Structure formats: structure tokens, C-alpha cells
Amino acid sequence: MEQPAGTGEQRDVVSCFSRDFNKMTAFEELGALARAPYDLTASGALSPERIRSYRTHAAGFDLLYATQRVDDTVLAALQKLAEESGAVSQFMLMKKGAVLNRIEGYPSEERQVLHTACRDIFAPDSLAPEATGQAKAELDKLADFLAALEAGGIVNGAGDSFTDLVQVGIGGSDLGPRALYLALAAYKIPGRRVHFISNVDPDDAAAILNGLDLARTLVNVVSKSGSTLETLTNEELVRKAFAEAGLEPNRHFLAVTGKGSPMDNPARYLRSFYMFDSIGGRYSATSMVGAVMLGFGLGYAHLEEILRGANAMDLAAEVPDIRRNPPLLLALLGIWNHNFLGSETLAILPYSQALVRFTAHLQQCDMESNGKSVTRQGKSLAWKSGPIIWGEPGTNGQHAFYQLIHQGTAIVPAEFIGFRASQYGQDLLIEQTTSQEKLVANLLAQALALATGQPHENPNRCFAGNRPSVVLLADRLTPYSMGALLALYEAKVVFQGFIWNINSFDQEGVQLGKKLATRLLAHYAGRRKNSGYNGEVSDDSGWALLVAAGILAK
């Protein structure tokens, strides 16, 4: 493990960036500017010169932001905010292994944050060489395993190859990997399929297992601690199905877990791949959490391309100039809309059906990271932290919730994601345009319509405009561009956390519900073990009221 850069001088460096967001000079400047933001509905507001100028590029993506309510003065103040908060300096400290997952003066996880090290294997000089070495070692193990599968060195009991893989995990062990696989299904190895079981609802597992030839199926169980209740419950459901089919689970099951965890057990798993404490679940898609499944489904070469794209965007995030750093610029535009223009939510709208689960992943990545109400010093926030993230692919959303975005009373900033060409290239001309051209035209039209609006004598047909958006546009959704897109949003989220002076790397908010659920489960277990158990409790906690009210039978 990389030596924690959280003691002595380096921890002091981290602390020096822990400034109150509302006490920075740029905060006051932006507050004043927000009283009269740029008017996108004014004549000539979206000039060709503005559209050309308000555009930046990195790792194959153009970020078009002319449809934001900013001008050069606002951008200069946002640049100052980035510098005052030390956003890029903190990002570099993160990549070097500083202990940023911490709350000063209070018990906390006290961990490094090194998800970028998983793809630093393509950088000439890694900033965290030991962590990168660990990632490289696991990738080498995976490459050997995949090669043995391909060559017929690893087969089932009947000597047949494996055609399917089921990923069993929840949260970060499911959302990011699933989003990536669905996004890149066009690149899958012929004859191989990947499936996902995450919900502890037994119907989730049953629906997947009922359609599989278990004899030719691998199961990849993902849990860093080896003790995640939902995952272990689903694992046992799946093991039972294998045993009932007369199969030996240990010849079919893989583990992605922490070294030395209860799941690091060669008697129960065909192979074990390691994940490390320095990589949080929602940032883990490019670690073994996603790599094992992606390697099986897409092949090792495509997995490498995902990592290359992510690394390219990680490098772009190091640039101090916000106009040349798409993740930082996107973070700052989000702060401008959320903290200064008052927008509570953010719609992320991919114009690609392949990205059908990408917004769901970003909900966790953003809302679990930045849904915080205390600073890194444990003080209550005097400013808003993360927005509510939501969205669905276009153009379907246009026939659903876009009505509210255009004419509702809430201003909802939007981030559109699109591609100039389709993945499969299967298209045709209808009324002299292709389907992909229709898709991109709709994306761009929505951004323009939200910005400019439409005056009309009929108030029901009047569009106020001045509804901000950005467009992220690449040539095609490929493994490389998917890796870049993933890393762009990861960096955006951590930049916002640095600027708000919150810890974007823990998730204490999920713990209380887990604790109460454990007590409710004890009630069920008590009834099952002891027919005389009456469900009595020794405190006045809310769950006892559920028993008393008869919601949970005694």
C-alpha cells in the first residue's frame, strides 16, 4: 500500500486547502454577478463567435457551454474560485496518495483515494507508483485468467467453455460496471453474455438464473469486505441453484474482494482478484470490480482501451486553466447554477440508448459523494452541497419530462451527452436524414431551445428560455470514449467536493438504515427460532413502533 500522505507536512498541505466556500473572495464576486446573469434570450446572445469560443476539448470529447448563463467575467470569477480553493492542487494530492477520505478531529475512514492509479498504468510516471503497481499486478492476473479461458485451459466439469458470467454485487459493485457493460455491449465477444444480480429481492436472482445454462456460467461475487449482507445473501441463492443443478460452485465462482477478507478463500472460489481500501466503491469501475466482468464480456484489449480513455481524462483534469480542463469547468458551471443561480437539481441526458444506466451510476457517484452537510472539519455547512441528479436517455425523455424542463416553474440545468456516429453503423435514410442525424439534431435543438426560449402571444406556447445546459459530444461511443466519459464525471464530482470543502469519499449516510434493518431482521430471526418470541424490545426506537402497530407480525 502506498504510504499514507496524510501525516506531517503533506497532511498540513491538505488542511491548508480546507477553506470555507462562502468566505472566499470569488464567492462574493459570483454572488454579485448572479444578480444579473448572462441573458441567453437577448438578440445575438448565441453568436457564432460565442459558440466557437465557449468550447473546450479533452480525450475525444468536446464540451460546448455557450448555452450556460455565463460570460467572460463570470468565467474569470470561476477561475478565481478554482484557484482559491486549490481544486487542482487537491486533485494532484489525491493522485499522489494523500489521505483525503477523512474528517479532521473526528473518527473517520482515514483513507487514500487512488481510483486514478488503476489507469495510471498507461502514464509514463505514475504519481502513486505502489498503488499503480498493485493495479498492474491484478490486471496481469486477469489477463492470464482470460487467456486461459480463451485457450480452453479453464473449462467446466464437462470440458466445455464458459459462455456466461453473472456479476453479484450492489452499489458501486453493480452500478458503474453495469453501466459500462451496457454502454459497450456493441463490442462484446461473440457467444459471451454478462448478467447482473444486485437487489436483495429474491426475484432479481430468480429472473436471471432461470434463463441460464448454469453448467457454462461463471459467477463473479464482488464485495471488498466480504461481508456485504445483500451480496452474500444473493451469493448463497446462486450457490444453491448450482448445487441443485449438480454442479460444484467452487469451479464456477470468482471473487473480487479485499486481500484477507472472508471471501479470499481458494476453497470456495476458482480465482480471487483484489480490490484495495484506497478505491471507494462508486469510484471502482476501473478496478477489478469492473475489470473482471468487462474483460470476460468485452475482451482484455477493449478493457485496456477503457483504462486508456480514463487516463487521458485524468491527465486533462490536472490543467489549471478551467477553459482547458473539461471536468473542472463542468464542476464550476454546476456550482454556478446550484449555489449562485439556485437550481436544486441537474438532469444528465445521454442521447445514446447504450448509456441507459449511466445516469443511474452518476446518481450514486455524485449524490453519495457530495450529499454531505458537514465540512471536512465536522462543522455544519452554511452553503448547499450536491444537487439531485436524475435523467433518462433522449429522445425518449422529450416525450416525458422535458415539458417541465422547458416550461415548469423549476429551472433544471441539463448536461446533454451525444455522439456524431452510432456504434453499430446500422442506419438508413428516412426523409433524407439518418436516425443518428435525427438523434444529434434533437440533442442540439433541445440545448438551443432551452437557452433561447420562444415568445408567443399565447401564454401556453410561451417558452421563457434562459435554462442552462452544456453539450458533451464525441465521435462515437467506444471503449476509449466511455473510459474518458466515466473519468470526466468522477473528476467533476471530486472537484466540487474540494471546492465545497466536504469529504466526497465516505458514505456515513447509508449506515443508519442498515443498522435499523439489522434490528428488524433480528425480529424476524427471533420469531423463526423461538415460537414464543413476542417481539419485545428494550428501547423506544422507531422500529419497535412498527412491531407495536402490527406492521411486522409478532
Active site (annotated) includes residue 115: no
Q: What is the pLDDT of residue 554?
A: 46
- Strand, helix or coil at 221? strand
**234 lies in a domain?**
yes
| Strand ranges inside 264-344, DSSP E | 271-275
Q: Under a CB-based contact definition with an 8 Å cutoff, are residues 216 and 160 in contact?
A: yes
Q: What is the pLDDT of residue 122?
A: 83
C-alpha cell at 95: 493522485
Query: Do 478 and 529 fall into the same domain?
Result: no
β-pair type (414-419, 429-430): unpaired
Q: Which of 257, 284, 308 is the last residue of a domain?
A: 308
Query: Do 521 and 418 fall into the same domain?
Result: no
CA separation for the pair 29, 81 (Å, rounded) = 10
Q: Which of 308, 330, 346 is the last residue of a domain?
A: 308
Q: What is the pLDDT of residue 18?
A: 77
Q: What is the pLDDT of residue 17?
A: 75
Report field, pTM of the whole predicted structure over 0.85 = yes
Query: Do 382 and 422 fall into the same domain?
Result: yes
User: What is the distance of C-alpha 173 from the center of its chain?
Assistant: 11
Q: Under a CB-based contact definition with an 8 Å cutoff, are residues 128 and 528 in contact?
A: no
Active site (annotated) includes residue 110: no
Query: Do 352 and 487 fall into the same domain?
Result: yes
Q: Which of 308, 338, 361 is the last residue of a domain?
A: 308
Domain encompassing residue 244: 128-308
**316 lies in a domain?**
no
**79 lies in a domain?**
yes
**1 lies in a domain?**
no
Catalytic residue among 240, 259, 379, 514: 514
Query: Do 486 and 519 fall into the same domain?
Result: no
**208 lies in a domain?**
yes
Query: Do 371 and 475 fall into the same domain?
Result: yes
Helices and strands (H, E) in the chain, number of each type: 19, 13
Q: What is the pLDDT of residue 526?
A: 75
| CATH number, residue 379 | 3.40.50.10490
Query: Do 345 and 448 fall into the same domain?
Result: yes
pLDDT mean for each 10 residues of the chain (554 residues): 44 68 97 98 97 98 98 98 97 96 94 96 88 97 98 97 98 97 98 97 96 97 92 96 97 97 95 96 98 98 98 98 98 98 98 98 98 97 98 95 98 98 95 96 98 97 98 98 98 98 94 79 75 55 54 54
**409 lies in a domain?**
yes
Query: Do 250 and 378 fall into the same domain?
Result: no
C-alpha cell at 421: 456516429
Q: Under a CB-based contact definition with an 8 Å cutoff, are residues 172 and 228 in contact?
A: no
Query: Do 181 and 235 fall into the same domain?
Result: yes
Packing angle, helices 479-500 and 300-316, rounded to 10: 40
Query: Do 480 and 529 fall into the same domain?
Result: no
Q: What is the pLDDT of residue 2?
A: 37
Query: Do 332 and 480 fall into the same domain?
Result: yes
Query: Do 499 and 514 fall into the same domain?
Result: no
Q: Say how many domains are in the chain.
A: 3
**111 lies in a domain?**
no
Q: Under a CB-based contact definition with an 8 Å cutoff, are residues 483 and 427 in contact?
A: no
Active site (annotated) includes residue 195: no
Catalytic residue among 368, 490, 492, 523: 368
| Closest CA relative to residue 96, chosen from 123, 74, 73, 75 | 123
How far the first Cα of the chain sits from its last, in Å, is: 49
**112 lies in a domain?**
no
